[in-house]
């Protein structure tokens, strides 16, 4: 952890030892036992990483306690897990390999920072990506700003903007699990209910993203704010329209949750060669993506089974 | 800007257009007119950067309005500037070249996000480093989490841990300007007073850091929390002690401000070849670093003109 910067001239006393103690305990939670040769993680002004292969990718996302996760229904460590998983999913969406994570936390005095960082460490470990640095500040909110770094060798990252008329639209799995999990939790389901787990501990589709990049798909993104918003965004970026035949709902999720729930982090894939995609997914032991529709040239065509699909999903009011 | 992630299932209305509007205006403020060929900045799931040369460096820092900058004395755009400058300074401290910045902002509804991002853009432009991505969330605090990416070609980054007994300790400039500026502002000095500007608009020593790396110095860090804290940290990392002859105070700063003020972002340099360092700085048109003392083998020796120098500086109380 780097030292935090602050206003000058305030003499130190007990708080210093307190912060040093906390940073040491956090480093023990998030740090790897072995730092690769030639790398420096926590402890210097910046982390030093061995050279990346190909393009460098970077994305940043903040999760705020009580805004991005209901503080009355879920433990604090889930906030850490979700923040990291959401950020890593942005790398999956480009077909990148995850290389490193840095985490900047603000929290009011007295927050259980160890619990929060256990969730952060769990997600880092689940995605096999090291936490290489961080920062700790006092604030009124518990907020976790996660920045992820990835690399894309070969022909590079898959963008949102490459969809072509006639391409097929696929999704890596059925949707609505996270929204259904939140609904069930609100009505008393336990934290270990599979759908509640899908909400608490989302799984970034890194392997699927890399496989899709290998299959030279035209466009890709992750479904973080709901298909009914994210597919519009992909088509805006590509200057095309879409016709959906179907939106596959996960078992236990409603059609509405599948359409606009968000936070499932399935990948939306657009390709002119779905058979090749299938083959590559199959050869890597990944579930076959589900075909849900096709790209059309007319930008204004945004259809689901013939009806117009409105743009909706979750956004901040600022 | 990436879309922010949030709880699922909330229907959209007016707020969506509001956020989309804001993101567009922010992108116009922070974005570069020309994105380099082969790169993608704001607008996809992650930013895509052309391959880095050598090691990749990363550091993250948060600045909270009212904690890291006095909200009653300084405009909001200074928070943005300081947050970026502090983060970029961590790259300077390693001898790195700055390649990219991402910024995650949380703010209460109604915050002047354009003003905040003007400060962010000013600092990016002053350090010649593009803002390539960001995130926007609702929170009670205005908080700016800045992550910087840099590259270190050649023999790589300069760490804190390389100081050797007998090495000379130097500093890139006199200290205490930022602390003096805050003191003057509190007693009525204008925002354009040179010392107040030093507090509002600190200058990361990127050119000095690269020059010091070229001179193969043994250890380096930036003075962000005050010399009386940061020099201890460098010597802890190197398992050595120090003897300081002098702590040069900037004009208008007190000896105490120079010693423990912090936020000056001068570089602390440790080398066994100060003449070579001088020559390289001179050949690049940089002011000669000031010799302030030397490294000693005994870890417990932490002296200033023969007296023991206590560890002090600014830290969070968590």
Q: CATH number, domain at B258?
A: 3.90.650.10
The pTM assigned to this predicted structure is: 0.92
A173 plus A301 within the same structural domain: yes
| Confidence tier at A32 by pLDDT (50, 70, 90) | confident
A206 CB contacts (<8 Å, ≥6 apart)?
A88, A91, A92, A97, A98, A127
A218 pLDDT more than 90: yes
From B96, B125, B152, the end of a domain falls on B152
pLDDT (average), residues A9-34: 66
Indicate the residue of A96, A149, A226 with minimum beta-carbon distance to B8. A226
In a domain, A163, yes or no: no
B172 plus B135 within the same structural domain: no
In a domain, A7, yes or no: no
A174 plus A133 within the same structural domain: no
pLDDT (average), residues A45-53: 95
Report the run of H or E that residue A146 belongs to, with start and end. Answer: strand A143-152
CB pairs under 8 A between A and B: 404
A153 pLDDT more than 60: yes
From A123, A152, A181, the end of a domain falls on A152
B101 plus B190 within the same structural domain: no
pLDDT of the residue at A317 = 59
pLDDT digits (tens, 9 = 90+) for A168-208: 999 999 999 999 999 999 999 999 999 999 999 999 999 99
Q: How many CB atoms lie within 10 A of CB B7?
A: 17
A147 pLDDT more than 90: yes
Range B81-104 burial, b when 16+ CB lie within 10 A, else e: bbbbbbbbbbbbbbbbbbbbbbbb
Indicate the residue of A62, A90, A138 with minimum beta-carbon distance to B45. A90
Q: Are A249 and A175 in contact (CB under 8 A)?
A: yes
Number of structural domains (chain A) is: 2
Cα separation, A19 vs A27, whole angstroms: 12
A29 plus A100 within the same structural domain: yes
pLDDT (average), residues A56-62: 97
Contact list in B for residue A268 (CB cut-off 8 A) is none
In a domain, B252, yes or no: yes
A21 plus A125 within the same structural domain: yes
Contact list in B for residue A149 (CB cut-off 8 A) is 56, 58, 149
Cα separation, A60 vs A87, whole angstroms: 6
In a domain, A315, yes or no: no
Indicate the residue of B12, B63, B313 with minimum beta-carbon distance to A315. B12
A147 plus A216 within the same structural domain: no
From A89, A117, A152, the end of a domain falls on A152
Quickly list DSSP for A218-239. Answer: SEEEE-SS-HHHHHHHHHHHHT
A219 plus A108 within the same structural domain: no
A5 vs B237: CB contact, 8 Å cut-off?
no
Q: CATH number, domain at A113?
A: 3.30.1330.10
B111 plus B76 within the same structural domain: yes
A36 pLDDT more than 90: no
Decide which of B201 and A35 is more confident.
Answer: B201
CA A115 and chain centroid, separation: 20
Extract the tokens encoding B97. Answer: 């070249």
At B260, phi and psi to the nearest 5? Answer: -135, 10
B52 vs A48: CB contact, 8 Å cut-off?
no
Average pLDDT, chain A: 91
**Residue-by-residue pLDDT tens, chain B, 318 positions:** 443 343 333 334 444 446 677 888 888 888 876 788 889 988 899 999 999 999 999 999 999 999 889 999 999 999 999 999 999 999 999 999 999 999 999 999 999 999 999 999 999 999 999 999 999 999 999 999 999 999 999 889 999 999 999 999 999 999 999 999 999 999 999 999 999 999 999 999 999 999 999 999 999 999 999 999 999 999 999 999 999 999 999 999 999 999 999 999 999 999 999 999 999 999 999 999 999 999 999 999 999 999 999 998 656 555
- Interface with A, mutate which of B24, B36, B44, B228 (most A CBs under 10 A): B44
pLDDT digits (tens, 9 = 90+) for A123-142: 999 999 999 999 999 999 99
In a domain, A317, yes or no: no
A318 vs B45: CB contact, 8 Å cut-off?
no
pLDDT of the residue at B133 = 94
The domain containing residue B105 runs over which residues? 18-152
In a domain, A313, yes or no: no
At A31, phi and psi to the nearest 5? Answer: -75, 155
Extract the tokens encoding A106. Answer: 């603000």
pLDDT-above-90 percentage for chain A: 81
HEC profile for B110-175? CCCHHHHHHHHHHHHHHCCCCEEEEEEEECCCCEEEEEEEEEECCCCCCCCCCCCCCCEEEECCCE
A17 pLDDT more than 90: no
In a domain, B148, yes or no: yes
A139 plus A245 within the same structural domain: no
A223 plus A138 within the same structural domain: no
B139 vs A5: CB contact, 8 Å cut-off?
no
Quickly list DSSP for B239-268. Answer: T-EEEES--PBPTT--HHHHHH-----PEE
Q: Identify the burial level of B64 via C-beta atoms within 10 angstroms of its C-beta, where 0-12 means exposed, 13-18 middle and 19 or more buried.
A: buried
A275 plus A181 within the same structural domain: yes
In a domain, B12, yes or no: no
Indicate the residue of B14, B44, B59 with minimum beta-carbon distance to A133. B59
Sign of CA dihedral A84, A85, A86, A89: positive
**3-class DSSP state for residue B232?**
helix
Cα separation, A131 vs A147, whole angstroms: 10
A12 pLDDT more than 50: no
């Amino acid at each position: 952890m780097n030292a935090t910067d602050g206003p000058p001239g305030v003499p130190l006393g007990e708080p210093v030892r307190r912060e040093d103690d906390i940073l040491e305990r956090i480093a023990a939670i998030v740090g790897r036992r072995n730092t690769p040769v030639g790398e420096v993680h926590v402890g210097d002004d910046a982390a030093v990483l061995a050279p990346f292969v190909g393009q460098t990718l970077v994305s940043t996302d903040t999760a705020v306690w009580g805004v991005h996760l209901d503080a009355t229904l879920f433990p604090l460590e889930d906030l850490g897990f979700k923040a990291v998983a959401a950020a890593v999913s942005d790398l999956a969406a480009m077909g990148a390999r995850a290389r490193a994570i840095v985490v900047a936390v603000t929290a009011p005095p007295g927050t259980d920072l160890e619990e929060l960082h256990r969730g952060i460490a769990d997600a880092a470990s689940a995605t096999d990506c090291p936490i290489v640095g961080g920062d700790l500040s006092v604030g009124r909110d518990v907020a976790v700003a996660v920045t992820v770094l990835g690399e894309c060798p070969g022909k590079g990252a898959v963008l949102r903007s490459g969809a072509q008329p006639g391409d097929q639209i696929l999704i890596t799995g059925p949707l609505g699990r996270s929204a259904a999990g939140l609904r069930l939790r609100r009505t008393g389901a336990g934290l270990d209910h599979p759908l509640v787990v899908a909400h608490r501990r989302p799984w970034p589709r890194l392997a699927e993203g890399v496989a899709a990049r290998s299959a030279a798909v035209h466009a890709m993104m992750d479904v973080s704010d709901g298909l009914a918003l994210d597919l519009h965004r992909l088509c805006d970026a590509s200057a095309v329209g879409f016709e959906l035949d179907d939106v596959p709902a996960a078992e236990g999720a409603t059609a509405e949750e599948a359409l606009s729930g968000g936070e499932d982090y399935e990948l939306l894939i657009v390709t002119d060669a779905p058979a090749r995609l299938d083959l590559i997914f199959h050869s890597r032991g990944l579930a076959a993506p589900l075909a849900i529709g096709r790209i059309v040239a007319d930008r204004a065509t945004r259809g689901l089974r013939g009806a117009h699909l409105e743009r909706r999903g979750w956004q901040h009011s600022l």
